[in-house]
Amino acid sequence: MDRLRTEYRTNETISYKKAWRLTYMLTGKQKRFLRAQAHHLTPIFQVGKGGVNENMIKQIADTLEARELFKVSVLQNCEFDRREVAEELAKGARAEIVQVIGSTIVLYKESRENKQIKLPR
């Protein structure tokens, strides 16, 4: 039973199901909502020939805190697969991949201080 309980950024013990939900595992309904919100956004980052580096991940993490949702464009001269780039960015910034379509990646991370988007349940 102890393995079904975990701590998540607080001293309070919460259920395993709630902890799973707090790790940014988005439901299909939430992803659909975020895709609709991101439709009108233009990409604000570009991943090029050099791929992903620590500086880019830090900037993306800072931008996610400010905006919560944005697009990243993968240029044609990028040597890496766009899905690998998306996973590396999401892992480094502790974000959730909403969508990878064409050469565009949509990332989401709930802001701690500047919450702008309210996800459906």
- Position 80 scores a pLDDT of 94
Note whether residue 100 is domain-resident: yes
> Is residue 42 situated within a structural domain?
yes
Arithmetic mean of pLDDT, 14-32: 66
Check which CATH number belongs to the domain holding 55 and give it.
3.30.110.60
- pLDDT band for 24, please (50, 70, 90 cuts): low
Q: pTM of the entire structure?
A: 0.77
Rounded to whole angstroms, the Cα distance separating 86 from 73 reads 10
Distances (CA, A) of 43 to 16, 38, 40, 60, 64: 35, 10, 10, 12, 13
Residue 66 lies in a domain: yes
In a domain, 116, yes or no: no
Instruction: Examine residue 121 and state whether it is found in any structural domain, yes or no.
Output: no
CA distance 71 to 102: 12
Are 35 and 98 spatial neighbours (Cβ–Cβ below 8 Å)? Answer: yes
Total tally of structural domains belonging to the chain: 1
In a domain, 18, yes or no: no
Categorize the per-residue pLDDT at 25 as very low, low, confident or very high, splitting at 50, 70 and 90.
confident
- Residue 117: inside a domain: no
Distance between CA atoms of 30 and 25, rounded to whole angstroms? 10
- Write the CA distances from 58 to 1, 10, 26, 63, integer angstroms: 38, 24, 23, 9
- Res. 68: pLDDT tops 50: yes
Q: What is the pLDDT of residue 5?
A: 40
pLDDT in tens, 38-60: 999 999 999 999 999 999 999 99
Which residues span the domain enclosing 56? 26-108
